[in-house]
Each structure stands twice: as structure tokens, then as C-alpha cells.
Amino acid sequence: MTMFIQLEDGKPIGNAVTEDNFRLLFPNTSFSWPFVPEDIEPQGFGLYDFSSQPDLGAFEKAVEIAPVKNEYGIWRQTWAVEPMNEEEVAARTEQEWGAVRGQRNFRLSMCDWTQLPDAPLSNVKMQEWASYRQALRDITTQSDPFNITWPTKPVA
């Protein structure tokens, strides 16, 4: 999909618009296909291309910075990687703890059957499963939600 961005003094401003919206801005103008910068820029717009955000560490964030014009005259979205501030780190850590609790709850639910009185397990195996389940419940006592050591599931 072709995207366009408004130019002011030869630099992009604002947000990108779709081809349909671009054409609505110029209802009485016909443009060549494919679009080329030489035809679009006199209208105060440039061709625009989105890019993928960079890979991030646990406490990094991607910040969009000024687009860069490539060798074909197309403006390309660019990113900078910055460290998170204390508030963002705390929120990201809490989010990860939520994911850990979700994984823990799933693992617990998958072995609920082992604690039923009519479970087809010996007393020794039932105790192994009970110990495993307690280790799962104790997961949140670990200090780093990004580096969890999960207990080993007993063999049924």
C-alpha cells in the first residue's frame, strides 16, 4: 500500500496518509502510476514507508525519530532505542510478573487431576506432584521475573 506524508520546507510533518486519503486531497488531479517523488512533492507530500521496530531488551523502548529519505526519494520511518525510565521499568516488571503468574496458573491447572482422591497415582507419586505444585506456587518468591527457574514436572 502506498503511503504519503506531508512535507513542510522539504521535511516530513504529521502522520502518514493512505493513497485513498491522498487522492481525496486532490480530487481534480491525476497522478501517474507508480507514484514517484517527482510527481508527489510539488503537491507538498512525499512517499512514505513504514519500518519494523528494532529488537528491544527487557528495559528498552523504541522511539520514533525523524524519517530519513532514501536513495529513491522515499521517506522511511526510523527508530531510536532508549532505556526506559524508572516508572516504565516498574510497569514492565509488573507486566512480566503477570505473565509469570499466568504461566504458573496454567501449569497448575494442567496437573490439578493429580491431587484428586481417585487419581491413578501411588502415594509417592501423589506427593511428588504435590511438591511440584507447591514449587509452582512459590515461583513468585523468585527475585527476577525475566529469569524464572521453573520446577521440573514429575513423570506421571
- Distance separating alpha carbons of residues 5 and 28, to the nearest angstrom: 19
Mean pLDDT of 9-27: 94
In this prediction, residue 57 carries a pLDDT of: 92
Mean pLDDT of 30-50: 92
In this prediction, residue 89 carries a pLDDT of: 96
Provide the Cα torsion 18, 22, 24, 27; round to 10°.
-150
Q: Where in the chain are the domains?
A: 3-83, 86-141
With 0-12 / 13-18 / 19 or more C-beta atoms within 10 angstroms meaning exposed / middle / buried, residue 120 is exposed
Strand partners, 78: 65
- Distance separating alpha carbons of residues 27 and 114, to the nearest angstrom: 69
The residue type of 112 is: D
In this prediction, residue 51 carries a pLDDT of: 95
| Model confidence, pTM | 0.67
The residue type of 37 is: P
In this prediction, residue 92 carries a pLDDT of: 95
For CA atoms 91, 97, 102, 103, the dihedral sign is: positive
pLDDT tens by residue, 80-120: 999 999 999 999 999 999 999 999 999 999 999 998 888 89
